[in-house]
Amino acid sequence: MKAIVQRSRIPNGLVNPYAQGATAAVMIQENWDDSVQTDVIALLGKLIPRGLWRHDAKDDNGDSHLESGLVRPSERIPLMDGEFGLSTWQTIFCCEFDGPRSIRRIVCTLLQDADAQSD
């Protein structure tokens, strides 16, 4: 995604990464160590346990659909001076709740700030 932003040469605006698929999501979170990621997985497991959902009768992944819906498939990230407007400890995660998958597509949309277009 960083390469897409750099190639766009858009100085200021928004970046919108979107995970295609009903069991994936995008999350911005701390990446200092693995503890936050592990805690997120533990929390979701407590909130949405496996094997309790009507959809499980179809393909045994009802929890994955609910987790994806709770976390959400996309984020909006400010683009500032050609860089992601994330703090020092933030990073963008693709959350795969029904995998691993060999392929998961992330669509990245960039919107340029209207004021920057007139320069």
Q: What is the pLDDT of residues 46-69, one digit of tens each?
A: 999 999 999 999 999 999 999 999
Model confidence pLDDT, tens digit, residues 80-115: 999 999 999 999 999 999 988 899 999 999 999 987
Domain 2-117 has CATH 2.60.120.460: yes
Domain boundaries, the chain: 2-117
Neighbouring residues of 88: CB distance < 8 A, sequence distance ≥ 6 = none
pLDDT band at residue 117 under the 50/70/90 scheme: low
Claim: this prediction has a pTM higher than 0.95: no
d(Cα 43, Cα 45) in Å, to the nearest integer?
A: 5
15-36 pLDDT, tens digit per residue, is 999 999 999 999 999 988 889 9
Return the half-sphere exposure (C-beta side, CA atoms, 13 A cut-off) of residue 1.
Answer: 22
User: What are the DSSP E strand ranges found in 10-105?
Assistant: 13-19, 24-30, 77-80, 83-84, 90-96
